[in-house]
Amino acid sequence: MNISVEAGVKESAERILDKLGISMRAAVEMYLKQIAFEGRIPLHLSVPVVPDELNAALMTDEELQAAVAEGVKDFAEGRYKDLDDVFAKVLGDL
């Protein structure tokens, strides 16, 4: 099967698929199988939006250890937010 896709769309999709470890061929095949299975076009597929610099899966062991050490240091020095306060603010903003 040969298909034409806008270059920008293809590049954006490839970046996401690379992060998921899925080839374009496998993604297209999964999509077609899902259509056949559900009898409809499935459109609820997503990747959590995590900035690369915060994504542990993209960090080297050294980078991850440094990030954890920085977080421990911040906590020890009182640079953190109480989780109850964060949830209260988030839920209050809804």
Would you give the DSSP letter of residue 5? -
Percent of the chain with pLDDT over 90: 54
Host domain of residue 1: 1-47
Query: Do 33 and 6 fall into the same domain?
Result: yes
Co-location of 70 and 37 in the same domain: no
DSSP 45-86: -------GGG-GGGS-HHHHHHHHHHHHHHHHTT----HHHH
Do 61 and 80 fall within a single domain?
yes
Q: Which residue has the higher pLDDT, 1 or 37?
A: 37
Top-ranked range on mean pLDDT: pick from 3-7, 24-28, 78-82: 24-28
Do 38 and 6 lie in one domain? The reply is yes
| One domain for residues 39 and 57 | no
Stretch 43-67: mean pLDDT: 84
Q: Which of 53-62, 69-78, 79-88 has the highest mean pLDDT?
A: 69-78
